[in-house]
Chains A and B, each alone.
Chain A
Amino acid sequence: MIINHPLLGPRDAQEFVYLGDANLINRPDGMAADAADTFHDYLYLRDNPAGLHRELWYHEQGDRSWLVVTRNTLTHEITQVELARDVARAQGRSK
């Protein structure tokens, strides 16, 4: 596969390490009263879509960017590649 890195252009997928569902970005508040439940759902409940899937890839043999890659799990077509940092900020994560 080829991942079109937002900063570096097309790179072979062999340079990357796969982590999983990009929903990992949405880490709940560990100090909240219901943290035990929200963390259980966050860590263990994953969708397994046949189709578009947003997932985290790490450019370990490259610039160390974490990317959010939108990949069709049926065809491996990659429709969008974003810096995970940008996605995290857009989803309201900061410090």
Chain B
Amino acid sequence: MTQTHRIAGGQINRSRTLTFTFDGKSYQGHPGDTLASALLANNVRLMGRSFKYHRPRGPIAAGSEEPNALVELRSGARTEPNTRATTVELFDGLTAQSQNRWPSLRFDAMAINDRLSPFFAAGFYYKTFMWPAAFWEKIYEPIIRRAAGLGSLSRQDDPDTYDKGFLHCDLLIIGAGPAGLAAALTAARSGARVILADEDFRMGGRLNAETYALGDQSGADWAAQTVAELGSLPNVRLLCRTTILGAMDHGIYSAVERVSDHLAQPLPDKPRQILWRIYSRRAILATGAIERPIAFENNDRPGIMLAGAIRAYANRWAATPGQRIAIFTNNDDGLRTATDLAALGIDIVAVIDPRTGGQLLPGIRHLQGAEVIDTKGRLGLAAITVQSPKGVETLNITALGVSGGWNPNLALSSHHRGRPVWNDSIAAFTPGANGVPNLAFAGAANGHFSTHAALTTGAAAAREALTALGFTPTAPALPPAQDAPPVRTPFGYGGHGKGRAWIDLQNDVTVKDIKLSHQEGFRAVEHLKRYTTLGMATDQGKTSNVLGLAVMAELTGQTIPETGTTIYRPPTTPVAIAALAGRSTGPDFRPTRLTPSHQWATEQGAVFVEVGMWLRTQWLPRAGETTWRQSVDREVLQTRRSVGICDVTTLGKIDIQGTDAGAFLDRVYANTFSTLAVGKVRYGLMLREDGMVFDDGTTARMGPHEYVMTTTTANAVTVFRHLEYCRQCLWPDLDVQLISTTEAWAQYSVAGPNARKLLQKITDQDISNDAFPYMACGEITVCGGLRARLFRISFSGELAYEIAVPTRYGDAMIRELVAAGAEFDAVVYGTEALGVMRVEKGHVAGNELNGQSSALNMGLGKMVAAKKDAIGVPLSAREGMVAPNGYRLVGVRPVDPAHPLTAGSHFIATGAEPIAANDGGWLTSVVYSPHLGHAIALGYLRNGTERLGERLRAVNLLGGTETEIEIVSPHFIDPEGERLRA
């Protein structure tokens, strides 16, 4: 028979039956059920094993505070570990598995840990696994990880999509219980833009779990009617299944909406979840309260639950964890569970109440001055031992409701470090002042535990927020509510005997652990938390923190406020990494920028390399080439022999215009530009203010007040940012304007002895050496009228040009250049060949521009003009920057040409030990030079300029290699620059 523990009433739709499985066994439930309520209705109390001792566990709560009932949901790639059965909305075909047990939930071999519990007391891993150190990573940690833990990952890609969204409102109301609904109603009718968010799939909060009336309606009916009215208003957005994760700065809240978690899989084109960023002008925290347990020996068996949760399962979900139930409560709210269950025909065996002198419940065995001192039942509660003034007795029951009072659910109020304050009249912490600006508190979240107070404080908080925002608040009629004045509920705990009394069920922290923490001196709350793990993991101590604090307070003889409390951080409940990532995953992790020749290069079978966000051609293999070196060597040799073409669009391009453009450049470059003739290009060296080289590139003077700067690919964005900083913050009245044109121009390098012959075929002007000499620039036209920019500059050391055309002609231009170059056997080369040629020429690039190198280090010291003030010039003269024993750029070749070199190897003198004290510098860039037929390198060597011809060793301790090398000039080809000027 199914659903043996389903009772009458509830807010479930019995006209439909949903079939689901738990650990492979099939069960039935109804729409409106959670996984936990459906399992309870099927008399399944055992849902998990505890973290450390593998104790059998069932749910204790009916919401997101649940520490025990963590299950793996779904299967295959959609498997999701550590979901709380108490919040999982039941759907047809749902599959769930228990976790942290082997081989099965009912028989878990790891439960041996429970027998060994003396070894696993608080801080055990700090003490037990100290020695030998090498054992930690290989032996202890894997064993602990396997023995103690939560669920596991599928290790497959998540097949669903996750979105991010942005919402704006005047008033954000967090929580849709009586306080939140009253606030929303007040605000909605005033015309303000309202967002009402609640983590549950059914709004109403505790109104759905209680039996008392609001006016002439049930609380649940009033909630449903109010939600319906709110939903009909255009200025209200209802976000159910939405958890507010964090209170960020300036009224911004992050939230996750579980759009499709209640479906077997998302509907087509729907995301699984949405991460919302909610911009609010005001917010109201109405997140209610969380019941706290009482610690007593063996208080963790399946069937022992919070009294309010048993009441919620019975009233809302028509499910009961047992037919014979006892209640252990130190406050009047627990008594309500007894009367509600009795009215539903459930046998209340006894109410155990440590208080004396209060009113006795009619028709129920109400034991006053009594407490539960032990429990029995291997896989679920079977009996409790009760001590009362009449003596000790054993009661055979299947469920026990426990209530130790209620704690305001105030986590969000301390996201800006606001500390909760102790409120003695309710024996609980309430939100403190100096919390989150413009966040007000209402209802039980602020310690107002009656429904009447929830409604009135909710409406009042809304009115106050609306008035502050300039709205005229309305005063909707709120129904009269049954009002029980709050009763102070003192703490009490057992566990003074041999057995263990649990405080934190998720982390298996007992009263004994807290005593041990106290005994060993870890008494401050932050120490207590870290020593015992109290309040960590997925539930973040929602049910356990305050109880643990109360025990420590008693041990130290302090009051609870003196003992203090830990504060809360986002997220309020666990959030999937996928929701935080949104659609920024895999190839969409960040944008990909394609060069103008990308399509052509793809057609040619090019190999691409990521350079920042860009994809650049790395080399272009030809038929028969089996290694990358064959392709790169060919590209280099063909360029140096005839002509090569390379897409250099990725270099940053900045147009600089204005009557002070030259003066501006003089201040941002270490060398001088105001003296540059119109129609000429100059290499520029840009320093940081500390004198280190920031970037380099060429800047062309296109007109009297018009320059075009190029930057390295890597620094295109940061150089532009820096120039704007200089322009706006340092010299605000210079007449100079900047615009980045990196994307506006497709730019190709054409290099090699036949470069001019090739280009002359497509340019409309004369570009002979006389008409367009080395370092000339100008605006020209190509292909019969297309505007272009031509620069006679060279990175490769060959006769070379860079030609730029508007980007939309970039694809046509590469095809035109290749076609025009056919008669010269022109080659298109990639970044590898580019790198080989620049090292052969001795040009610095990213490896040398490492942010720790000065112009002097790079052999460019003379470029730093001494007689002007420019960024970085004053501090370039510092003693340490000009030390003669500093690093200098040198060239390196192996003494035996057959030997390879390794970048990163360090210079060590012959015969010296390879230790830091003997370190002379390092090889920054290494390539194989097909031109020379051996490996070559650039490097930084102490006092290197004076050491040409010296023989040293290049030692690479990581790779275990050592090569005898000779220090040479960094200019391996054409040191006089004759090719450039040809």
**A66–B725 touching, CB < 8 Å:** yes
A residues less than 8 Å from B717 (CB atoms): 60
A residues less than 8 Å from B593 (CB atoms): none
A residues less than 8 Å from B690 (CB atoms): 43
**A89–B725 touching, CB < 8 Å:** no
Q: How far is the CA of A40 from the CA of B881 in the complex (A)?
A: 13
- A95-B874 in contact given A19-B725, A66-B728 (Cβ < 8 Å): no
**A66–B729 touching, CB < 8 Å:** yes
23 CB contacts below 8 A, A to B, read: A1-B248, A2-B250, A2-B279, A27-B730, A28-B874, A30-B874, A31-B868, A36-B877, A56-B729, A58-B724, A58-B725, A60-B717, A60-B721, A66-B724, A66-B725, A78-B250, A83-B728, A85-B728, A88-B728, A89-B733, A93-B731, A94-B731, A95-B731
Cβ of B416 under 8 Å from chain A: yes
**A39–B689 touching, CB < 8 Å:** yes
Cβ of A48 under 8 Å from chain B: no
Smallest CB–CB gap between B573 and chain A, Å?
A: 24
**B729–A39 touching, CB < 8 Å:** no
**B875–A39 touching, CB < 8 Å:** yes
**A89–B732 touching, CB < 8 Å:** yes
Q: How far is the CA of A93 from the CA of B725 in the complex (A)?
A: 13
Smallest CB–CB gap between A13 and chain B, Å?
A: 8
**Residue of A28, A29, A58, A77 most packed against chain B (CB within 10 A):** A58
**B416–A40 touching, CB < 8 Å:** no
A residues less than 8 Å from B248 (CB atoms): 1
Cβ of B734 under 8 Å from chain A: yes
**A36–B729 touching, CB < 8 Å:** no
Cβ of B966 under 8 Å from chain A: no
Smallest CB–CB gap between B725 and chain A, Å?
A: 6
- Residues of chain B touching chain A, judged by Cβ–Cβ distance below 8 Å, are 248-252, 279, 416, 437, 660, 663, 689-690, 717, 721, 724-725, 728-734, 868-870, 873-875, 877-878
B residues less than 8 Å from A77 (CB atoms): 437
Q: How far is the CA of A1 from the CA of B277 in the complex (A)?
A: 11
A residues less than 8 Å from B870 (CB atoms): 30
**A85–B869 touching, CB < 8 Å:** no
- A76-B729 in contact given A30-B869, A39-B874, A60-B721 (Cβ < 8 Å): no
B residues less than 8 Å from A25 (CB atoms): 729-730
- A85-B729 in contact given A30-B874, A43-B689 (Cβ < 8 Å): yes
Sorting the interface of chain A by its residue count into under 10, 10 to 19, 20 to 34 or 35 or more gives: 35 or more
Contacting residue for B874 out of A35, A83, A93, CB 8 A:
A35
**B734–A95 touching, CB < 8 Å:** yes
**Residue of B252, B721, B728 most packed against chain A (CB within 10 A):** B728
Smallest CB–CB gap between B170 and chain A, Å?
A: 14
6 A-B pairs closest in CB distance: A30-B869, A30-B874, A94-B733, A2-B250, A35-B874, A85-B732
Q: Which of chain B's residues has its CB closest to A27's CB? A: B730
**A94–B732 touching, CB < 8 Å:** yes
Cβ of A84 under 8 Å from chain B: yes
A residues less than 8 Å from B279 (CB atoms): 2
Contacting residue for B437 out of A13, A64, A75, CB 8 A:
A75
**A43–B875 touching, CB < 8 Å:** yes
Contacting residue for A30 out of B249, B251, B437, B873, CB 8 A:
B873
Contacting residue for B249 out of A1, A19, A56, A58, CB 8 A:
A1
Smallest CB–CB gap between A49 and chain B, Å?
A: 18
**Residue of B249, B252, B878 most packed against chain A (CB within 10 A):** B249
B residues less than 8 Å from A89 (CB atoms): 732-733
**Residue of B732, B869, B870 most packed against chain A (CB within 10 A):** B732
- A17-B733 in contact given A1-B250, A39-B875, A84-B728 (Cβ < 8 Å): no
**A76–B721 touching, CB < 8 Å:** no
B residues less than 8 Å from A88 (CB atoms): 728-730, 732
Query: CB-defined interface of A72-90 with B at 8 Å, one 1/0 digit per residue?
Result: 0001111000011100110
A residues less than 8 Å from B869 (CB atoms): 29-31
**A84–B729 touching, CB < 8 Å:** yes
Q: Which of chain A's residues has its CB closest to B725's CB? A: A66
Contacting residue for A76 out of B250, B868, B873, CB 8 A:
B250
A17-B721, A93-B729 known, 10 other contacts, Cβ within 8 Å: A2-B249, A29-B869, A31-B869, A36-B878, A58-B725, A66-B724, A66-B729, A76-B250, A89-B732, A95-B733
**B732–A65 touching, CB < 8 Å:** no
Smallest CB–CB gap between B457 and chain A, Å?
A: 26
Smallest CB–CB gap between A45 and chain B, Å?
A: 13
**A24–B731 touching, CB < 8 Å:** no
B residues less than 8 Å from A64 (CB atoms): 724
A residues less than 8 Å from B251 (CB atoms): 2
Q: How far is the CA of A12 from the CA of B214 in the complex (A)?
A: 43
B residues less than 8 Å from A65 (CB atoms): 728
B residues less than 8 Å from A39 (CB atoms): 689, 874-875
B residues less than 8 Å from A83 (CB atoms): 728
B residues less than 8 Å from A76 (CB atoms): 249-250
Smallest CB–CB gap between A28 and chain B, Å?
A: 8
Smallest CB–CB gap between A53 and chain B, Å?
A: 15
Q: Which of chain B's residues has its CB closest to A30's CB? A: B869
Q: How far is the CA of A88 from the CA of B868 in the complex (A)?
A: 22
Q: How far is the CA of A62 from the CA of B73 in the complex (A)?
A: 43
Q: How far is the CA of A30 from the CA of B663 in the complex (A)?
A: 15
Q: Which of chain B's residues has its CB closest to A14's CB? A: B277
Q: Which of chain A's residues has its CB closest to B877's CB? A: A36
A residues less than 8 Å from B868 (CB atoms): 31
Smallest CB–CB gap between B855 and chain A, Å?
A: 16
Smallest CB–CB gap between A59 and chain B, Å?
A: 10
B residues less than 8 Å from A60 (CB atoms): 717, 721
Q: Which of chain A's residues has its CB closest to B740's CB? A: A64
B residues less than 8 Å from A1 (CB atoms): 248-250, 252
Smallest CB–CB gap between A69 and chain B, Å?
A: 12
**A93–B730 touching, CB < 8 Å:** yes
Q: How far is the CA of A40 from the CA of B730 in the complex (A)?
A: 17
Q: Which of chain B's residues has its CB closest to A28's CB? A: B874
The B-contacting residues of A in range 31-49, CB under 8 angstroms, are 31, 35-36, 39-40, 43
B residues less than 8 Å from A17 (CB atoms): 721
B residues less than 8 Å from A29 (CB atoms): 869
Smallest CB–CB gap between B246 and chain A, Å?
A: 13
A residues less than 8 Å from B437 (CB atoms): 75, 77
Smallest CB–CB gap between A22 and chain B, Å?
A: 8
B residues less than 8 Å from A58 (CB atoms): 721, 724-725
Smallest CB–CB gap between B781 and chain A, Å?
A: 32
**A95–B875 touching, CB < 8 Å:** no
Smallest CB–CB gap between A8 and chain B, Å?
A: 15
Q: Which of chain A's residues has its CB closest to B867's CB? A: A31
Smallest CB–CB gap between A81 and chain B, Å?
A: 12
Smallest CB–CB gap between B371 and chain A, Å?
A: 46
Smallest CB–CB gap between B44 and chain A, Å?
A: 46
**Residue of A13, A27, A31, A40 most packed against chain B (CB within 10 A):** A27
Q: How far is the CA of A29 from the CA of B868 in the complex (A)?
A: 10
Contacting residue for A36 out of B250, B725, B875, CB 8 A:
B875
A residues less than 8 Å from B877 (CB atoms): 36
Smallest CB–CB gap between A51 and chain B, Å?
A: 14
Q: How far is the CA of A89 from the CA of B730 in the complex (A)?
A: 9
**Residue of B251, B416, B731 most packed against chain A (CB within 10 A):** B731
